[in-house]
């Protein structure tokens, strides 16, 4: 007989949080020797546009999986660089060893390690970790905080409600179909400020109260699960472009609060599906 899935009150929260931080620590140690190294090379795993992977990506995922094998061997794992591992607990660790590998190989410190813990309904806890800067954004299980070189600070999104006052981040125009680009640009044309190419760090800035919107397309679960947990813990909203769940990937709209989310969503809903 299959054991019932644990409810939130049944989870070993302290152990899960400790495991997530141990994974992030292991990933930091694996990645940093490669960053801005003259000997670093990248393989292209994509078809069409450049989709790099490096030894640092592979080493970081292997290090995190080793932590899970030791601390949480019965949990499932979904990662970017290795095969999915089934589990028996109803919990899945969704990991991206380097979100923003293009930034990583370019030497910019806007990439990050993404770690999410998902149950059947989606993310319940997440970390966005920037090893070089030393910042770690945490959300879930009653936590919403940044720990970094300047100490600890709470995460709280902004209360802005008008698109004309909003700051928008995205990887567009590099990523997305022509229809998706048009949907993004319809929002872009309404906001005060648009910036590009920050990868997962843009989502962290939403949680920190610095940025109001992130709009993306073509995401995988490991790209968005941790940002969902962190932003929602800080008071924000993350959905797809139709207002539904996005933890399995696709088109994402991350917003600082329900009002600015509704304003952007009303525009994005007009974007074609194709």
Burial 121-137 (b: 16+ CB within 10 A, else e): ebbbbbbbbbbbeebbb
Is the CB of residue 234 less than 8 Å from the CB of residue 211? no
Give domain 163-268's CATH number out of 3.40.50.970, 3.40.50.300, 3.40.190.80, 3.40.80.10: 3.40.190.80
Tens digit of pLDDT per residue, the chain (274 long)?
334 445 556 899 999 999 999 999 999 999 999 999 988 888 887 756 777 889 999 999 999 999 999 999 999 999 989 899 999 999 999 999 999 999 999 999 999 999 999 999 999 999 999 999 999 999 999 999 999 999 999 999 999 999 999 999 998 887 889 999 999 999 999 999 999 989 999 999 999 999 999 999 999 999 999 999 999 999 999 999 999 999 999 999 999 999 999 999 999 999 887 5
- For residue 4, say if its preceding peptide bond is cis, omega within 30 degrees of 0: no
Domain with CATH 3.40.190.80 in the chain: 163-268
By residue count, the chain amounts to: 274
For residues 263 and 247, give the distance between their C-alpha atoms in angstroms, rounded to a whole number. Answer: 21
What span, in angstroms and rounded, lies between the C-alpha atoms of 84 and 271? 32
What's the whole-model pTM score? 0.94
Q: Does domain 8-154 have CATH number 3.90.550.10?
A: no
Per-residue pLDDT of 202-241, as tens digits, reads 999 999 999 999 999 999 999 999 999 999 999 999 999 9
């Amino acid at each position: 007989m299959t054991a019932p899935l644990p409810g939130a009150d049944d989870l070993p929260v302290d152990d899960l949080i400790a495991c997530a931080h141990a994974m992030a620590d292991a990933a930091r140690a694996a990645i940093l020797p490669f960053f801005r190294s003259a000997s670093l090379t990248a393989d292209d795993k994509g078809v069409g546009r450049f989709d790099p992977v490096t030894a640092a990506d592979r080493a970081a995922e292997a290090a995190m999986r080793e932590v899970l094998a030791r601390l949480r061997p019965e949990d499932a794992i979904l990662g970017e660089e290795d095969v999915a591992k089934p589990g028996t607990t109803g919990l899945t660790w969704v990991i991206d060893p380097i979100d923003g590998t293009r930034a990583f190989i370019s030497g910019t410190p806007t990439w990050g390690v993404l770690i999410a813990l998902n149950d059947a309904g989606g993310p319940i806890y997440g970390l966005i970790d920037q090893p070089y800067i030393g910042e770690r954004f945490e959300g879930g299980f009653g936590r919403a905080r940044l720990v970094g070189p300047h100490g600890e600070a709470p995460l709280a999104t902004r209360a802005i409600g008008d698109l004309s006052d909003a700051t928008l981040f995205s990887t567009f125009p590099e990523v997305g179909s022509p229809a998706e680009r048009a949907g993004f640009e319809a929002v872009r044309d309404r906001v005060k400020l648009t910036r590009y190419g920050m990868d997962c760090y843009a989502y962290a800035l939403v949680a920190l109260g610095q940025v109001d919107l992130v709009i993306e397309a073509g995401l995988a679960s490991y790209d968005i699960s941790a940002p969902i947990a962190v932003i929602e813990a800080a008071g924000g909203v993350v959905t797809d472009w139709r207002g539904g769940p996005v933890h399995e990937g696709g088109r994402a709209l991350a917003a600082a609060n329900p009002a600015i989310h509704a304003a952007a969503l009303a525009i994005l809903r007009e974007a074609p599906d194709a």
